[in-house]
Amino acid sequence: MSASVIPCVGAVVTDGQGRLLMIQRGHDPGAGLWSIPGGRIEPGETDAQALVRELLEETNMQVKVGKLIGRVQRPGLGGAVIDIRDYAATVTGGTLRAGDDAADARWVTAAELGRLEVTEGLIEALTEWGVLGP
């Protein structure tokens, strides 16, 4: 029997000062760890619709979805595979505050990011995709 694949999206959002929008996960997998905002694609949603919904739920920010930046697969609960497509996104409105399953939400510099406990493989993926410096 093959493991179930859970389609998800993530948002790579930067501000005018080069900071990255991050959320602290409030639930497993990865409760307490920092990651980019995003989540599961609901049935009938496009990637863009899911990303807009997740950003609003987790950060109270409205975004315009841009290009696909990269794709990763991570282990999920119960042997599932989490298939994540990460997109660039630009803030179009809202006031930053944590919501839904995010315990915290904030803008972080690359130096601050290096001091946070982040989800496995995040720094490497963002570096490989050119979001963070080498």
pLDDT tens sequence across 75-95: 888 889 999 999 999 999 999
Q: How far apart are CA 60 and CA 103, in angstroms?
A: 13
Q: What is the pLDDT of residue 2?
A: 61
The residues spanned by each domain of the chain are 5-128
Q: Strands across the sheet with 5-13, in order?
A: 38-40, 5-13, 81-94, 61-75
Q: What is the pLDDT of residue 104?
A: 96
Q: How far apart are CA 79 and CA 59, in angstroms?
A: 29
Q: What is the pLDDT of residue 30?
A: 82
- Torsion on CA atoms 36, 69, 45, 84, rounded to nearest 10: -60
Q: What is the mean pLDDT of each run of 10 residues along the chain (134 residues)?
A: 85 94 89 94 97 96 97 88 96 94 94 92 93 75
CATH classification of 5-128, choosing from 1.10.287.610, 3.30.70.20, 1.10.1060.10, 3.90.79.10?
3.90.79.10
